[in-house]
């Protein structure tokens, strides 16, 4: 089993893959980052098991937990749907909501922890 710190690092990496900055990349990179890495990561690192571990260690709070769980549900609804394509990622409001929520969660974590504290949490 991976450590809590490794889970948190992968959780943060997964969140960072789904941002408005990602939309500035080429179609090929968006396809790889969002449709492969992000969707796979959100299945694992936004799971109840992982979120419970992070919450029990005090790394995330109830608000972050709930938003992360909501994000996972939103992503799972888009996975294997007719919106799972580059054009939809760039234009569909469902994907815009995912991007907004992902960035919102990152802001909440960055308000809770400093960069140095986040780096330390990766090691626990």
Could you report the per-residue pLDDT of 19-43, keeping only the tens digit for each? 999 999 999 999 999 999 999 999 9
Return d(Cα 7, Cα 36) in angstroms, integer: 18
Q: Which of 12, 5, 30 is nearest to 84 (CA)?
A: 30
Q: The domain containing residue 84 runs over which residues?
A: 4-119
Contact indicator for 84, 78 with CB cutoff of 8 Å: yes
pLDDT tens digits, 62-88: 999 999 999 999 999 999 999 999 999
101 lies in some domain: yes
Structural domain contains residue 8: yes
- Asked if residue 124 belongs to a domain, the reply is no
- Rounded to two decimals, the pTM is 0.95
Q: Is residue 69 part of a domain?
A: yes
Q: Is residue 92 part of a domain?
A: yes
Q: Based on the structure, what is the number of domains in the chain?
A: 1
pLDDT at residue 94 is higher than 90:
yes
Task: Answer yes or no: is 26 within a domain.
Answer: yes
Q: Rounded mean pLDDT of 97-110?
A: 98
Does residue 17 lie in a domain region? Answer: yes
Q: Rounded to whole angstroms, what are the CA distances from 8 to 3, 37, 93, 104?
A: 9, 16, 28, 17
Q: Is residue 61 part of a domain?
A: yes
């Amino acid at each position: 089993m991976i450590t809590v710190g490794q889970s948190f690092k992968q959780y943060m990496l997964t969140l960072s893959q789904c941002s408005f900055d990602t939309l500035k990349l080429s179609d090929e990179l968006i396809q790889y980052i969002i449709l492969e890495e992000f969707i796979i990561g959100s299945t694992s690192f936004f799971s109840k098991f992982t979120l419970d571990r992070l919450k029990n260690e005090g790394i995330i709070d109830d608000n972050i937990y709930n938003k992360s769980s909501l994000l996972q549900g939103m992503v799972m609804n888009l996975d294997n749907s007719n919106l799972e394509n580059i054009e939809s990622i760039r234009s569909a409001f469902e994907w815009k909501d995912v991007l907004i929520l992902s960035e919102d969660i990152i802001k909440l974590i960055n308000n809770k922890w400093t960069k140095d504290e986040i780096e330390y949490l990766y090691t626990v």
